[in-house]
Every structure is written in C-alpha cells, then in structure tokens.
Amino acid sequence: MLTTMAAAVMALSTVIAPATTVDSPPGERITVTVVTVNGSGCPAGTAAVAPSADNTAFTVTYSDFLAQIGVGAEPTEFRKNCQLSLRVTYPQGFTYGIAQADYRGFGSLAHGAKGLEKANYYFAGNSPTAQVSHTFNGPLNDYWQATDKTEVASIVYAPCGEQKILNLNTELRVSAGTSDISKTTSFMAMDSTDGSVRTTVHFAWKQCP
C-alpha cells in the first residue's frame, strides 16, 4: 500500500533546492538516538531505535503500542499516539531527508469496525505538518502494512551545517463503526512481539555544496 506524503512535508524548511536524484549515504556509521519520547503509545522504556548497517534507514520497535475498543478495553484506549524526538548524527558535508516510512503491525477488527494509522514528520523549529492517514476495515485478523513515500523531487532536507532534531508522530485509532462493542473487541497494534512488526524510516542523503 503506497501513498505520497508530499503534503506532509512541504512545510519543512530547507536550504537545498529540489533534486531529481539522491546521493549515496555517508560511509562513516551514523547514529540515531532518542532525545525525548512522549505519548500513550510509547511509555518510557517501550520504544527503541536502531540505524541500519548501511546508513540507509532506521527502525523503531515498540512494545506497548496498542489501541483497542470493546470488551475489556478502557474508554481511553481507542486512541494511542507516540511522538519521538530523534537526534541523527552524521558526518559533516552531508544532510538528509525522509524518503519513505514503512509501518507494520497486527490488527484484529470485528465486522464493521475501523482502524486508522497516521503519521507526520518534521524537523525541530518547524510547525507540525499534515498527517498522512491509512484506514483499515473489519473484518480483519492479520498483519497490516502502510507506506508513506515522497517523490525524489519533493524530499525536504535538513539545512546543511545544522543537525536538527527529527520529530516523528504516529497514531493508532480504532472506532466501533457498526460493530457491537458490547460483544466484541477490536484492536490495532504496532509492537515488537514479532520481528517483522516495526517501523522502518528510509533516509535520502545529499552532499552539501
């Protein structure tokens, strides 16, 4: 499932003109560290971040990111969110943007129930951008996947010479729809109980002038 997130990133500031290609990632190993974490979907200690060995992406894994509604669910559990503020450290002479983000999770939706995953991305100092949404309809009892992708010419890069904090906001939501919540439970999860259930964020790299 692919959808563009150009509208979600057009408000980001940049000092690099739109490009038609991206450069190879830096050879020196980058790091991605969590500066702050906030939200009902990622209590302290339940989210972890790791860059790939080839510097092309980083993964986020969660252990307590689940929204649910119906039997056994608290009234406030229909919506869960997580905001991660990340510091990406990389060699001088490079800058990066977000080219794509892949979300994976597990959903159990009763007939008539609906699930929602949405996210946005922005550098510190910029206003939050529009969120890109993906909807899922019950009945569902399977893994789900959603991808946000930006065309190369629309990727927005952090300013050269500045290592801006990257903010990732993600939300899961479940609504009853026409399902009978007095008899059923529906949920959307994005946690790391399975090795394939994670968020993968793909970099686009540019060498600075």
Task: Render pLDDT for 154-193 as a digit per residue (tens, 0 to 9).
Answer: 788 898 988 899 999 999 999 999 999 999 999 999 865 4
Angle at 134 between CA 20 and CA 100, to 5 degrees: 25
Q: What is the pLDDT along the chain (209 residues), one digit of tens a residue?
A: 334 333 333 333 333 334 445 689 999 999 999 999 999 999 988 999 999 999 999 999 999 999 999 999 999 999 999 999 999 999 999 999 999 999 999 999 999 999 999 998 899 887 666 678 999 999 999 999 999 988 887 788 898 988 899 999 999 999 999 999 999 999 999 865 444 567 999 999 999 98
* pLDDT given for residue 102 in this prediction: 93
Q: Is position 21 within any domain?
A: no
Q: Is position 138 within any domain?
A: yes
Domain that holds residue 122: 2-15+28-207
For residues 67 and 144, the answer to whether their CB atoms sit within 8 Å is no
Structural domains of the chain, count: 1
Q: Is position 92 within any domain?
A: yes
* pLDDT given for residue 201 in this prediction: 93
Q: Is position 135 within any domain?
A: yes
Q: Per 3-state DSSP, what percentage of the chain is helix, strand, and coil (rounded to 5)?
A: 5, 50, 45
Q: Is position 96 within any domain?
A: yes
CB atoms < 10 A from the CB of 3, how many?
Answer: 13
Q: Is position 20 within any domain?
A: no
* pLDDT given for residue 182 in this prediction: 95
The three-state secondary structure class of 153 is helix
d(CA 22, CA 203): 10
What secondary structure letter does DSSP report for 105?
E
